[in-house]
Amino acid sequence: MSSTKITGSGTYLPEIILANQSFLDHHFYDAEGVTIPSSNSEIIEKFQAITGIEERRYASKDLSSADLATQAAETAIEDAKIDRETLDYIIVAHNVGNIKAASCQVDILPSVAARVKTNLGIKNPRCVAYDLIFGCPGWIEGMIQAHAFIKAGMAKKCLVIGSETLSRVVDASDRDSMIFADGAGATIVEARNEQGGILSHLSTTFTAEGEADYIYYGTANQKTSDQTKYIKMQGRKVYEFALSNVPQAMKDCLELSGVTIDKVKKIFIHQANQKMDEAIVKRFYRLFKTSAPEDVLPMNIEKYGNSSVATVPTLYDLVVKTNFKGHTLASGDVIIFASVGAGMNINAITYQV
């Protein structure tokens, strides 16, 4: 039985750790440029209570998104024990490209994927490298595309990476900036003559009611700069959108697989906001008229923050390799990957280990 399976995974989490206390000396403003009256300690306390984030990782100034992606890719290639020259595709998901520290220039020329292929020293010209811009669900969408290539007979081995250096585009005067982080996660997916792998997938894009403007590039809240280089979001609208639409997308995806809800062992959901993720999973199970198991939802947002496209593959890698917080996976286990982000895009995969 032909299947698309993950045969290797890798993670690169930067060494610079910023705890929430690092933001105590910031000056926070609202979107209109008005100083937020609450004290920074109150802002940070509320932020942590909602998001669950205690600290996040930032890349050092000398490292680019391509560098982080390369590190994760090297680990995944070693884990899969493959010859890198046999890779058919390198798909790199990101949002802000290879932007340098203290720069307002987004750099995606050449593509981050082309830079990664160069860094990996791959000589085979038939190893095709390209970037994928799909918001936070980018790595999952890359997995779906790799699966399509494999099912179509166009590929046997693909490297899918989610890499982000969001610290380069955070607005220090915006309290929402505390949510974002840097990191990279990579997977090798291969065609295998065995059961399991990707059982079903679903992708959606919502734009009819202004959703495309929920997460965007904008100017600083403190009106001293006109540089349009900062990641911005309408937090309340993102939260409400996710709760209204992600559970149904996950349900539709699971039903496409033919697997029943009681067989789902773990849900690897984009680490965007702890309360939001917990609410999404509760609503997902409610659609099946049942309750979520206590151990179904691994979370690492408290230590690593929201690294966008990197959150799902890094969390998966931690669980697979480190017995992360007691979460484990065994052969035959059914899991769900799911994400939501800029676009607004939602996607999900039902996967059997």
How is the chain split among helix, strand and coil, in percent rounded to 5? 35, 25, 35
Return d(Cα 351, Cα 353) in angstroms, integer: 6
Dmax (CA) for the chain in angstroms is 61
Taking the CB of residue 168, how many other CB atoms lie within 10 A of it? 26
Which of 270, 273, 300, 327 is the catalytic position? 270
Q: What Å distances lie between residue 122 and 70, 93, 114, 127, 168, CA to CA?
A: 12, 19, 10, 8, 28
| 98 is known as an active-site residue | no
> Which regions of the chain does DSSP assign to beta strands (E)?
2-12, 16-19, 55-58, 89-93, 128-132, 157-165, 182-193, 197-205, 215-218, 230-233, 264-269, 334-341, 345-352
| 136 is known as an active-site residue | yes
Which of 136, 147, 253, 273 is the catalytic position? 136
Which of 20, 95, 221, 306 is the catalytic position? 306
Contact (Cβ atoms closer than 8 angstroms) between residue 348 and residue 337: yes
Return d(Cα 87, Cα 69) in angstroms, integer: 16
Residue 252 token pair: 């539709």
Q: What is the DSSP string of 256-273?
A: HHT--GGGEEEEEE--S-
- For residue 255, the surrounding DSSP H or E stretch is helix 235-257
φ, ψ (nearest 5 deg) of residue 243: -65, -30
Give the catalytic positions in this structure.
136, 270, 306
